[in-house]
Amino acid sequence: GFTSLQRVTPSELKKHNTPEDAWSSFNGKVYNITPYLSFHPGGQKELMRCAGRDGSKLFALTHSWVNLDYMLDGCMIGFMVPEPSQ
């Protein structure tokens, strides 16, 4: 069904950096990675390295062949946007 997507700033992303509330961005898309932590074949600790931040580079270095968009489809939160200017 339809889920409304959020616009997420870097400072908002940074707040979600605990296993209970972990968000990460990959190629501009933001995902809640908390539900996937215990299923990650590389382990929770490795996946938590990208919590609260952009994980694109780490992801590409470890397994660029994995289809993240497909795997985390139901965990998508929204898109990265710049901080509002003052």
Number of residues forming the site for ligand HEM (CB under 6 A)? 18
Neighbour-count burial of 22, counting CB atoms closer than 10 A to its CB (0-12 exposed, 13-18 middle, 19+ buried): buried
Residues 75 and 68: beta-carbon distance below 8 Å: no
Q: Is 71 in the site for ligand HEM (CB under 6 A)?
A: yes
Distance CA 5, CA 42 (A): 28
Q: Contact with ligand HEM (CB under 6 A): which of 8, 13, 22, 72?
A: 72
Question: Should residue 59 be labelled a site residue for ligand HEM when binding is judged by CB under 6 A?
Answer: yes
Positions touching ligand HEM (CB under 6 A) are 33, 36, 40-42, 46-47, 49-50, 55, 58-59, 62-63, 66, 68, 71-72
